[in-house]
Amino acid sequence: MKMSITTSVSPSPQFYCRSAPASALCLNIQVQSSLAAVFAQALCHYPEGDPVLFPVAAHDFASPTPSHHTTGTPPALLHSCLLSRSLRSPSVWVYVLVTLPFPRDSDIILLTEVYYGSVELNMGSLLSQLGLECGRKEVKEEERHLRANDRELNLSYKYADNAIKTSKYNIFTFLPLNLFEQFQRLANAYFLFLLCLQLIPEISSLSWFTTVVPLVLVLSMTMAKDGSDDINRQRCDRQVNNRKVEVLIDGELRSEKWMDVQVGDIIKLENNQFVTADLLLLSSSEPLNLVYIETAELDGETNLKVKQALTVTGELEDSIEKLANFNGEVRCEPPNNRLDKFTGTLTLKGETYSLDNERVLLRGCTLRNTQWCFGLVVFGGPDTKLMQNCGKTTFKRTSIDRLMNVLVLSIFGFLALMCLILAIGNGIWEYQEGSKFATFLPKQEGVNAPFSAFLTFWSYVIILNTVVPISLYVSVEIIRLGNSLYIDWDRKMYYPKSDTPAEARTTTLNEELGQIKYIFSDKTGTLTQNIMTFNKCSINGKSYGELLDFSGQRVEIHEKTEKVDFSWNNLADPKFCFHDHSLVEVVREGNPEVQAFFRLLALCHTVMPEEKEGELYYQAQSPDEGALVTAARNFGFVFRSRTPESITVVEMGELVTYELLALLDFNNVRKRMSVIVRSPEGKLTLYCKGADTIIFERLNPSCSKLKEVTTEHLNEYAGDGLRTLALAYKDIDPEYMEEWKLRHHEASTAMDEREEKLDVLYEEIEKGLLLLGSTAVEDKLQDGVPQTIEQLSKADIKIWVLTGDKQETAENIGYSCNMLREEMTEVFIVSTNTAEEVRKELQTARRKMRPDGPEEPTVTKSRSGLFCLLKTETVADEPVDGEYAMVINGHSLAFALEKDMEMELLRTACMCQTVICCRVTPLQKAQVVELVKKYKQAITLAIGDGANDVSMIKAAHIGVGISGQEGMQAVLSSDFSFAQFRYLQRLLLVHGRWSYLRMCKFLRYFFYKNFTFTFVHFWYGFFCGFSAQTVYDEWFITLYNLVYTALPVLALSLFDQDVNDRWSFQYPKLYAPGQLNQYFSKRAFVYTLLHSGYSSLVLFFIPWAAMHDTVRDDGKDIVDYQSFALLAQTCLLIAVSIQLGLDTHYWTSVNQFFLWGSLCVYFAVIFTMYSNGMFLIFTSSFPFIGTARNSLNQPNMWLTMLLTSILCVLPVVAYRFLRILLWPTINDKVRYKVRQDKVLPPAPRRVQARRTSTRRSGYAFSHAQGYGDLVTSGKFLRRSPKSRPALFSQTDSPLAQTQPQFYRTISEREEPPLSSWD
């Protein structure tokens, strides 16, 4: 009895179990067994509690059906939902106990560790969770059941129909919902609280408008933005819902709106139509019931994928009658978000057929190259996998955000302290003075000193609220938005070739771009272009592809080098370029070896041809293969078409059809592929291409001399970082072939050990080959990658490459992009198979790098975050002499990432200049990122382009997606995207640095101006009996943040630059302060606080001293409250404006305009507000009538303002000047140098570094199993999978081998851990 169990754990349970709270965990257990029933239990072991048993819902696929494609049993699907008991438990062990009725086969225990994402507690999620738990008690859909053409039954299940709704509000819910959301923000809620306080007359120290005006402004701004977003979403929804599709209703096809389509309907799709819902494919116009679809909207990949209907439904064809009578029942998994998986069964006429992903068309795909197809709606609207994937993405916050939260909280504490001091002061005053002063100011009834102090406390809470200004958050958002727009607008990050500008997809993370310490990069498509070009070849001992000058020296090939003219070949691909003319000449002369060489390339592959508008396109499994076939095409051996039995090639203009006798496909063990063809003349030939080592083993001894020469060439190619393949052929005796074919047929239909038998057969025929030569394909690096990496490492950013590639490839790329260098002290390679060995290697490496280092890492434990709830452990950086690098493979990494070894890994890896992890899975990529995040407390950035990078892009603080020619998935989950890796340096060194600088300047200044503003109130408390009397006019309090100081500080934080972009590149060291958090930290905050304290003292006591016993020049008293308020507020405004000027490094005209404009507006406003007219209209709101006129004509007022401003500013100037002299920072030095030089630094050069290494590339072949054999041979298609060892729970058709989502580069990145073809 063979059985296998795989469990899959949904990492984002909230999508999978829609109505379950976010803390639930879902398990899917697949059991393959031919037994009638399976019982299972899941045993969950929580780290901090007792194990808990959960029953697992078992689906009984009882009767083994004589399905045409399987004789094994369909997998039983068990699933269960486990509720986590603790939100914070990081991981859960799940044991699944599967009990089978037969005693001997029972008790298989399976162990899976389930990782729980850290659950961030925030008000919103808590509320939504509560809402979920008490609101809807929806029963989770356990299984979907539907019957075709039976609307009544299907409607009874109340499945969602096909209408989608992505908008949040409607007209009636907009206001309450939006307000509710907005008041969940702390700052807004705080202001609402203040507003409530102000309504109590005993407390209200300010008029209502001081709070209402800013609050309404902020709320309405946010509301406008949310509203317009939602209107756009509604418009999109409407458009999509109203699309038309043909639906089979009551035996006829009717055109219906998408939103009216129900689960269980049969719909007809035509070519180039969008797939309406998630459909079970029934039949299609194409042979073998195939359909071709484009999945660009789902995963962004533009190449076509193949789906195939079951034969039994395929027979329905396009007969409306048959389709209308079709009454198949589908049972399948409940809606989920996994694009690559579908499990279910179709029961038709008492027989059950298994369904998998290959039978399903997903909403969002487009039908291509298929005239029509019919499908049965399985999931509609919100249940479709597309919509299930549109879940909320985790909200990333920047470290400044977190710091700001901490600061705001401590400001609250500080505010409370100030209010407490003032309240105590009030209590004492009331007790000592107030009680006596009662003659003139009678006490309110029942208000004694303590109660008065209590009221005063709240009054001061209102007055001093400006320390936590509401406009801070709005301004921060505006600044981030502005700086994001700069990224979108940057022409230097625009890639003209694909017309792609850079895009800031998240507008809230900018400043963190200036603090990156670690970059995790994918390789393929990120560092490399994933474009393979046929670069060189060696044919019959002669190497082609080099340009040599007369003296035999290699000539550098650049863009202007003359290209080979392929115009003689009207089928040539115009994009192909080659520079060595001699090869064309040889081909056209008719050299038999060269022709055989290209014939082989044209025949031996699994590429699918496609003709679009008369142009020939190739659908290649891997880019390598496409490059080789294209090369053959251009050199006159054009692969035109293929049928299962034949391959048609245009050989030097002549149409030749070869009969395809066998295709010995590639797999990772064989590392070669062969075809056996019969030429029109009847000659049988085997063509084989594969890894050089493999081919060389199977050569005819007569080739030994050629082998030597070719090996030399291969070494040369490998030294240039090219990927090589060796080509060989062999003529076959027809009789032998007949006999071999018989045996082959026997083997391929064998019940067991089919693979092994076939392997033996293949081995037998692929022998005694004759060497033709070798090819060299260049895996092109993206432009400027080595320079970018060099720049970034100069900026002290560590770059780790995490790739699914093989170790050799990864190393190779490491060398070619300058991360690994020949002159490095040592490159450690960790690639072992046991935990102990991995630990030993890591330790050895560490001791070598730092012989005198301590065995235990220095770990600083601290607490941070709100209320210091977060415990952090930081591992200190350790200095090493010399340059080291580490290469670790996925297998070792799996051990190294275990709890007990991760520290070892981290220490060793962080000592190295370069870390390359190869053969890693997407999950491991995320784990590595998490590890660094956890112990380094450093800001991380992950950059990648493919679906396999999504996990790490989401895990890192900042995810960057390469918006390349394919693969949108990474971009969709990224925070920033652009087309070329080299733009990363501009993103970080220019935009990131500026954003960080600006944000820090903004925050420092903002806190400064508000603290200064507020502290003056504090001092005035001592002169007004601590009665919460404001020192400024109420209108000034209202407008200070919103009008008088808003724009200048915005200009500062949108335009400021310390040095321009060229200099930023010239001195990457300028980036360092950001990594060290130097510009804004708790320390900087305390300095700001002290600075404000000083300024407020000056701003209060200088006017006080200058005014308290003097009079105006006309003898009237000057120190009345209103004049004093005017003086204090004017002094303040002038002082903070000058301070702003001092902080501004980059004075654009906008800065000037805003600063002077704001001051002018201030004076204009006070003269207006204090005018007769305003008083006559709004008597009680503008009591300051005449103050401006009567006070500002006094010389001593102006002299006081001058004195306070100078006293506020000069010490700062002196301090900064001396600091620059005594302790200059890198920033000061560069600015000084810029001033001295007054010329721009040279524009960054782009020189392609050429590597002179003699390392052998181990790269052989880059593709895995293709769908070639499906299309080449009908008999392969019908080949039953029964003989495949059932140990692997692979899906049943060969088509399934091509996991569509990873189609492009499945072996490029990683191989599935269990592949039946290995």
Q: Which residues in the 426-485 window bind another protein by CB under 8 A?
A: 433, 436-437, 439-442, 444, 459
How far apart CA 672 and CA 1209 sit, in angstroms, is 77
Q: Which is nearer to another protein, 173 or 498 (CB)?
A: 498
**Would you give the end-to-end CA distance of the chain in angstroms?**
22
> What is the Cα Rg of the chain in Å?
37
Q: Which is nearer to another protein, 205 or 1272 (CB)?
A: 205
Mask: binding to another protein, 378-417, rule CB under 8 A, as x and -?
Answer: ----------------------------------------
The partner residues of 528 in beta bridges, in order of sequence, read: 781
CA 701 vs CA 706, 767, 1198: distances in Å: 10, 11, 103
Stretch touching another protein by CB under 8 A, among 227-235, 532-540, 930-938, 1056-1064: 1056-1064
Query: Is 369 one of the binding residues for another protein (CB under 8 A)?
Result: no
Q: Which is nearer to another protein, 828 or 978 (CB)?
A: 978
Q: Which is nearer to another protein, 1182 or 1317 (CB)?
A: 1182
How far apart CA 840 and CA 908 sit, in angstroms, is 12
**Which are the contacts of 1039, defined by CB distance < 8 A and separation ≥ 6?**
1165
Query: Is 211 one of the binding residues for another protein (CB under 8 A)?
Result: no
How far apart CA 937 and CA 932 sit, in angstroms, is 7
**Segment 487-516, which members bind another protein (CB under 8 A)?**
488-492, 494, 496-497, 499-501
Least spacing, CB of residue 1188 vs another protein, in Å: 10
Query: Is 1238 one of the binding residues for another protein (CB under 8 A)?
Result: no
How far apart CA 27 and CA 94 sit, in angstroms, is 9
Mask: binding to another protein, 186-205, rule CB under 8 A, as x and -?
Answer: ---------------x---x
Stretch touching another protein by CB under 8 A, among 325-333, 887-895, 1149-1157, 1248-1256: 1149-1157
Stretch touching another protein by CB under 8 A, among 103-111, 223-231, 396-404, 1174-1182: 1174-1182
Q: Which residues are documented as binding site for ATP?
A: 522-524, 625, 666, 689, 723, 803-805, 919, 925, 948-949
The pair of structure tokens assigned to 1078 is 């130097």
Contact 832, 838 (CB under 8 A): yes
Least spacing, CB of residue 528 vs another protein, in Å: 23
Contact 462, 455 (CB under 8 A): no
Stretch touching another protein by CB under 8 A, among 241-249, 639-647, 1075-1083, 1224-1232: 1224-1232
Query: Is 705 one of the binding residues for another protein (CB under 8 A)?
Result: no
Least spacing, CB of residue 1096 vs another protein, in Å: 17
**Segment 70-129, which members bind another protein (CB under 8 A)?**
none
- According to DSSP, residue 574 is labeled T
Stretch touching another protein by CB under 8 A, among 216-224, 233-241, 926-934, 1098-1106: 1098-1106
**Which are the contacts of 722, defined by CB distance < 8 A and separation ≥ 6?**
535, 536, 776, 777, 778, 779, 1257
Stretch touching another protein by CB under 8 A, among 87-95, 303-311, 763-771, 1103-1111: 1103-1111
Contact with another protein (CB under 8 A) among 37, 1086, 1213, 1240: 1213
Q: Which is nearer to another protein, 899 or 1238 (CB)?
A: 1238
The torsion angles phi and psi of 546, rounded to 5 degrees, stand at -90, 145
How far apart CA 1082 and CA 487 sit, in angstroms, is 29
Q: What is the dihedral sign for C-alpha 1016, 1017, 1021, 1023?
A: positive
Contact with another protein (CB under 8 A) among 286, 779, 1061, 1292: 1061
How far apart CA 507 and CA 1307 sit, in angstroms, is 35
Contact 622, 1308 (CB under 8 A): yes
Q: Which residue among the candidates 522, 580, 1033, 1269 is catalytic per the annotation?
A: 522
* Helical spans, DSSP H, in 623-680: 623-634
Contact with another protein (CB under 8 A) among 223, 320, 1047, 1150: 1150
- What DSSP assignment string belongs to 309-355? --HHHHTTTT-HHHHHH---EEEEPPP---TT---EEEEETTEEEEE
Q: Which is nearer to another protein, 368 or 1229 (CB)?
A: 1229
Query: Is 1034 one of the binding residues for another protein (CB under 8 A)?
Result: no
Contact with another protein (CB under 8 A) among 1194, 1257, 1273, 1291: 1194
**Segment 304-363, which members bind another protein (CB under 8 A)?**
none
- According to DSSP, residue 642 is labeled E
CA angle in degrees (0–180, nearest 5) for 971-973-976: 55
Mask: binding to another protein, 965-1004, rule CB under 8 A, as x and -?
Answer: -----------------------------x----------
**Which are the contacts of 1162, defined by CB distance < 8 A and separation ≥ 6?**
1044, 1130, 1133
| H or E element that contains 671 | none
Contact with another protein (CB under 8 A) among 1195, 1242, 1243, 1245: 1195
Least spacing, CB of residue 1217 vs another protein, in Å: 5
Q: Which is nearer to another protein, 491 or 861 (CB)?
A: 491
Judged on CB neighbours under 10 Å (0-12, 13-18, 19+), 119 is middle
Strand segments, DSSP code E, in 49-170 are: 52-55, 57-58, 76-83, 91-99, 108-115, 144-147
**Segment 1010-1029, which members bind another protein (CB under 8 A)?**
1023-1025, 1027-1029
**Which are the contacts of 900, defined by CB distance < 8 A and separation ≥ 6?**
none
Q: How many residues bind another protein (CB under 8 A)?
A: 98
How far apart CA 427 and CA 248 sit, in angstroms, is 83
Q: What is the dihedral sign for C-alpha 1146, 1151, 1152, 1155?
A: negative
Query: Is 1288 one of the binding residues for another protein (CB under 8 A)?
Result: no
Tokens 């030429």 map to which residue?
679
852 classed as catalytic: no
The pair of structure tokens assigned to 207 is 């008029």
Stretch touching another protein by CB under 8 A, among 515-523, 653-661, 682-690, 1221-1229: 1221-1229
How far apart CA 919 and CA 890 sit, in angstroms, is 5
Q: Which is nearer to another protein, 687 or 1067 (CB)?
A: 1067
Q: Is 34 helix (H, G, I), strand (E, B) or coil?
A: coil
Least spacing, CB of residue 1130 vs another protein, in Å: 14
Q: Which is nearer to another protein, 501 or 1157 (CB)?
A: 501
Query: Is 1072 one of the binding residues for another protein (CB under 8 A)?
Result: no
Contact with another protein (CB under 8 A) among 844, 1172, 1248, 1254: 1172
314-333 in b/e burial notation, b at 16+ Cβ within 10 A?
bebeeeeeebbebebbbbbb
Least spacing, CB of residue 624 vs another protein, in Å: 25
Contact 700, 769 (CB under 8 A): yes
Strand order in the sheet with 366-368: 304-308, 290-294, 366-368
Q: Which is nearer to another protein, 186 or 1207 (CB)?
A: 1207
**Segment 730-749, which members bind another protein (CB under 8 A)?**
none
Least spacing, CB of residue 576 vs another protein, in Å: 13
**Segment 1109-1148, which members bind another protein (CB under 8 A)?**
1109-1125, 1145-1148
Least spacing, CB of residue 1095 vs another protein, in Å: 15
Q: Which residues are documented as binding site?
A: 522-524, 625, 666, 689, 723, 803-805, 919, 925, 945, 948-949
**Which are the contacts of 62, defined by CB distance < 8 A and separation ≥ 6?**
36, 37
Q: Which is nearer to another protein, 41 or 1029 (CB)?
A: 1029
Q: Which is nearer to another protein, 364 or 1103 (CB)?
A: 1103
The set of catalytic residues is 522
